[in-house]
Amino acid sequence: FVRLEESRNRTTGGLGLGLTIARNIARGAGGEVDLSNHPGGGLLTELRLPVAA
């Protein structure tokens, strides 16, 4: 993941680690996190995790 919006940075707050942490947790559980632009504006986030047997 990369930070494209320049108004948020380490000086203004946030390290940008939230999505990376979420992705690593999802992958550790055998899942995935996908991000895309929402047609009406904003971010669409999809978290997919395997179903427990």
With a threshold of 0.75, does the pTM exceed it?
no
Amino acid identity of residue 18, one-letter, is G
Report domain extents, the chain.
1-53
pLDDT above 70: residue 14 = no
CA distance 34 to 36: 7
CA distance 22 to 15: 14
pLDDT above 60: residue 40 = yes
**Residue predicted with more confidence, 38 or 30:** 30
Q: Would you state the pLDDT for residue 29?
A: 95
**Residue predicted with more confidence, 39 or 50:** 50
